[in-house]
Amino acid sequence: MSYSYEYKLKCVEIYKEGRWPETPEGIMNRENFRKMIRKWVRIEEANGPYALKHRNQKKKWSPDERLELVAKVIAGSSVKSVAINAGINNGMLGKWVQKYKCEGYNGLVDKKKGRPPKEPQMKKLNRNKPRKLKKSEYEELIRLRAENEYIKAENEVIKKEIALREEKEAARLKAKKQRSSKNSEKKDIP
């Protein structure tokens, strides 16, 4: 259920007077409603009454701002208190802390959302104008091409060596077979 800014302020004022506001109709669990009021009070005390307003646009948190909040949690502050002071959901801050613990600073950087393109290399390249190579890239390209040619030549030599070995082995086996057939002919003649 969504509550108006005025209703939230009214509930906070009643709570500060030491009373509980009436639970609205349709709310089954009165205790959850009271927890929400206590949260509104903490938000209002930490950030002022305007923090209770609904925001039309979500704020984009930079990785450095996220790191600052995560550092407070890692230093010993509770996730809930840091989130309330920052004016964000404590679940979101909890996720940032987990990502930071798993991936480090890179976990706090926004990643591109959605399904990756089918052919990412083709879409990134501009077919009309290939980009100019830097001098170091050009030198590395020349070195890699030379290395590639060397490896191809080496492979050809190895293939020829293998073919020669197989030829020699076939010739040896043929000669052995001929000798054994000659020996068997000599034994057959009495």
pLDDT digits (tens, 9 = 90+) for 49-70: 777 776 645 678 888 999 999 9
Domain ranges of the chain: 1-54, 60-110, 124-188
Among 8-12, 27-31, 42-46, 172-176, top mean pLDDT goes to: 172-176
- Rounded Cα gap, residues 171 and 182, in angstroms: 17
Q: Given this model, what pLDDT does residue 125 score?
A: 57
User: Which pLDDT score is estimated for 172?
Assistant: 93
- Angle at alpha carbon of residue 21, lines to 2 and 87, rounded to 5°: 45
Q: Which residue has the higher pLDDT, 36 or 157?
A: 157
pTM, two decimals, is 0.46
Q: Is 62 helix (H, G, I), strand (E, B) or coil?
A: coil
Task: Kindly give, in sequence order, each residue whose CB lies less than 8 Å from that of residue 82, ignoring residues fewer than 6 positions away.
Answer: 69, 72, 73, 93
* Element of type H or E holding 74: helix 63-74
Q: Which residues contact 15 (CB under 8 A, 6 or more apart)?
A: 21, 37, 38, 41
Highest mean pLDDT among 43-47, 97-101, 133-137: 97-101
Tokens 């060397």 belong to residue? 150
> What is d(CA 173, CA 161) in angstroms, rounded to the nearest whole number?
18
Residues 7-18 have a mean pLDDT of: 87
Greatest Cα-to-Cα distance within the chain, rounded to the nearest angstrom = 131
Torsion of CA 143, 146, 152, 157, to 10 degrees: -120
**pLDDT confidence of residue 32:** 84
List, for residues 65-99, the tens digit of each pLDDT value: 999 999 999 998 888 888 878 878 888 899 999 99
